[in-house]
Amino acid sequence: MSKYFPPADDDLTFLRKAMQDVKRTKKLPAVPRSPKKSSCVRASFNAMPKKIADHSLPAPLFVLYDPVEQVISAEDKLFFRRAGPQNKVIQKLVRGEMMRSACLDLHGMTVDQARLTIIEFLLASQKAGFRCVHIIHGKGHLSQTQPKLKNHLNYWLAQFPGVLAFTSAQARDGGTGAVYVLLANHS
């Protein structure tokens, strides 16, 4: 870390003189934001329907394979895009300007619990006609190695046929510990 050096007296005097006529403006209109964090569903494996917890669900139509190696660090940004979505839609997704219809928090889950939860969440979100969802995976700061859920989620979402794109969230929505997911229309 670098040391802090206080500004010189001349600099402070110059700044005060330059700012003496500055007046506070009215508050600018805010960019539409996602719902507050409290509206995010904190998925708990114990609180899931019994058929999911008992693994008695019928076999899914697809399987989410695990990554061979985990190369993504906690601060790496994620981004994936299939052919199809317009550039303007992707730009809105990256800037966090798309209305997110649902939110899922995976903190405290194992990889197997997260896999089942994500499959259920994405299928339910797509069936409900949601266009954009928010998934919080965390940064893996408590892990001794790389962030497991982040690496797995990056790999899983690209395999999911209903996912058109995903990107790391803006800092206000979790930053590199969360993703925005753009879903295809349910047919």
* Residue 71, domain member (yes or no): yes
* Residue 6, domain member (yes or no): no
* Residue 106, domain member (yes or no): yes
pLDDT confidence bin for 112, thresholds 50/70/90: confident
Query: Of 14-28, 33-47, 151-165, which one has max mean pLDDT?
Result: 151-165
In the beta sheet, which residues pair with residue 179?
Answer: 135, 168
* Residue 11, domain member (yes or no): no
Our count of domains for the chain comes to 1
For the chain, strand residue ranges (E) read: 41-42, 79-81, 102-105, 132-136, 163-168, 178-183
* Residue 22, domain member (yes or no): no
Q: Which phi-psi region, left, alpha or beta, contains residue 113 (left: φ > 0; alpha: ψ -120 to 50)? A: alpha
For residue 161, what are the contacts with CB-CB under 8 A and spacing of at least 6? 62, 184
Per-residue pLDDT at 152: 87
What CATH number should be reported for the domain holding residue 158?
A: 3.30.1370.110
Token reading at 145:
């190695």
pTM over 0.95: no
pLDDT tens, residue by residue, 143-181 = 666 778 888 898 899 888 889 999 999 999 989 889 999
* Residue 159, domain member (yes or no): yes
Contact (Cβ atoms closer than 8 angstroms) between residue 100 and residue 183: no
pLDDT confidence bin for 13, thresholds 50/70/90: confident
pLDDT confidence bin for 44, thresholds 50/70/90: very low
* Residue 28, domain member (yes or no): no
Residue 134 structural domain: 35-183
